Structure 1
């Protein structure tokens, strides 16, 4: 997902405020909860994108959903509602996460697999990535049965697709070309 300039700026302002109040980790936890909630709920995504629903009403819903969030996150929701930018909240959360990783010099790597990876598989992936020059890796395993087997590795703007689904698609494409 490409983040807009506005989402980068809001994330930067939130990050600076969190650093100033020594609250970076709590805000990071809240922002990741927001990102996961928005990504997992099509209804919430549609509500945030709907320009006919008032920002005040959307803000009221968000306040109820994220009532246990830190005061900085609640303030961010207020500012976004005032500026009619609530649709950016998931992008802001993702950008905030990137800033936290940069602060900790951590590289977030997502591994998509057909089944959950066991600990030894995760360690093997981390070891191989470290051999490739990546350091301080934070591995996130996402399960997607539709890839059938293998895995998809994502970090920064890179994607390595070693899934069975991808291999079958390539074979199908090659077969179609030869007909």
Structure 2
């Protein structure tokens, strides 16, 4: 029975995360995986080539060897293993799940703030600091989106939660209260 990509990614990422943590090599493994992730994201044809039956195994192994060349031994073994088990098509997803585990351990939260206008750098820093306190995080990595429809205020999506402080939502609440 073949595992689906998400189940596979969760299993491999968890195993790699636990090994790196046990060996106190989490930071170096994370950095190597980020570099590999960047390679595959910027060159999606690599995955296609490595998964293609038309490319000879020796050519595939040469590409994999290049990926492993400067990698930490744990990362090199990981890349070789997923190549041998023909799971390189899931490498990006595996690394993304690995990064989630690292972020959870380090209490790093990724958030998206939607505002009606562009926030200044100091406003972004202030919002990230307040969100970190609110969410119990050590750090909040904040991305921003502009949506004039929210009129004012901010809508934040972080850690599976939505914090809606938009003026549009407040007006809608007042409208519902007046209609009652």
- Taking a change above 3 Å as real, the CA distance of residues 131 and 13 of structure 1, as seen in their structure-2 partners, is closer
- What are the within-5 Å matches in structure 2 for residues 70-85 of structure 1? 70-85=72-87
**Contact 2:47 2:88 survives alignment (8 Å):** no
Query: Hey, what does 2:19 align to over in structure 1?
Result: 17
Q: TM-score, normalised by structure 2?
A: 0.65
Query: Hey, what does 2:122 align to over in structure 1?
Result: 120
Q: CA deviation at 1:84?
A: 0.6
CA distance in 2, matches of 1:157, 1:108: 10
- Taking a change above 3 Å as real, the CA distance of residues 38 and 118 of structure 1, as seen in their structure-2 partners, is farther
Query: Hey, what does 1:175 align to over in structure 2?
Result: none
- Larger CA Rg, structure 1 vs 2: 2
- State the secondary structure of the residue aligned to 2:71: coil
CA distances 1:108-150 after superposition (whole Å, capped 9, x unpaired)? 33579xxx986424303314534754532331559xxxx8x55
Moved over 6 A (4+): none
- Taking a change above 3 Å as real, the CA distance of residues 88 and 98 of structure 1, as seen in their structure-2 partners, is same
CA distance in 1, matches of 2:10, 2:36: 16
CA distance in 1, matches of 2:91, 2:119: 30
CA distance in 1, matches of 2:113, 2:63: 33
In the alignment, structure 1 segments of 5+ residues that lack a partner are 161-179
In the alignment, structure 2 segments of 5+ residues that lack a partner are 148-153, 164-180
CA distance in 1, matches of 2:11, 2:57: 20
Q: CA deviation at 1:45?
A: 4.0
Q: TM-score, normalised by structure 1?
A: 0.66
Q: CA deviation at 1:155?
A: 4.0
Query: Hey, what does 1:93 align to over in structure 2?
Result: 95
Q: CA deviation at 1:47?
A: 2.7
